[in-house]
Amino acid sequence: MRMTTLCLLLAGMMPQAFAAEPKTDPVSVLDAKITKKLAQDQWDEAGRAFVRALWKDYKQAHRNPQAASGERRSLQGDMPDVKSYDEYVGSFSPAKRPGLKYMEVVKDEAGRYFVKLGPHTIPAAPRGGTMVFTTGDVGYSNLPRLAEKYYCTLEIYMLVRVEGKYYFTDLATRPSASRELVKATGQEKP
């Protein structure tokens, strides 16, 4: 009896014990997540088409960070003040809890940027003086429901520096009214 139980336990544990953790490209992970969300029947086709087009442009921007110009744009009255997107590379903590690692921006050998948020590595796109990224969540659009089904959008966030302070924000919120972050000491660029 004990041997049978032991064999059953080992048989159940063997796949996990020997399963190699797959090396998955972060873009592919988000691609699968977005595709799955768009397959849900709750979204209007116009919203799905918009999310597909936005995701295609986002992937291109991530894969080609060199195309990002030094052009900055005002975000609801706040102007990003970075001179180089590399100024976003480093670890960040909430301003109210310095020392607590909240997020990290890294750059790979190909010059592409990624945001590490918890256990997730998220492809990022430097644009307009900000570091733009998405978790791949598809949510309800702010547009009124005019069709039979709801419109959807891809939820996008930004890390932005305004007047020397870093902020984590979404597209609808003025950066200076968002969560302030501090960059880990020793990572500031002149």
Task: Tell me which H or E stretch contains 55.
Answer: helix 45-63
Please report the pLDDT score of residue 78 as a whole number. Answer: 83
Distances in Å between the Cα of 126 and the Cα atoms of 27, 65, 78 are 15, 6, 17
Give the C-alpha separation, 190 to 186, whole Å.
Answer: 11
Give the C-alpha separation, 176 to 166, whole Å.
Answer: 9
Give the C-alpha separation, 13 to 16, whole Å.
Answer: 5
Please report the pLDDT score of residue 159 as a whole number. Answer: 95
* Three-state DSSP state, 98: coil
pLDDT digits (tens, 9 = 90+) for 8-67: 323 333 333 333 334 588 999 999 999 999 998 899 999 999 999 999 999 999 998 887
pTM of the model: 0.79
Closest CA to 64 of 104, 113, 133, 105: 113
% of the chain beyond a pLDDT of 90: 53
**Which tokens is 68 given?**
């990002």
Give the C-alpha separation, 83 to 175, whole Å.
Answer: 18
CB 126 within 8 A of CB 132: yes
DSSP label at residue 147: S
Mean pLDDT of 144-171: 91
Instruction: Return the residue matching tokens 């020392």.
Output: 99
More confident residue, 2 or 78: 78
**Which tokens is 15 given?**
């796949």
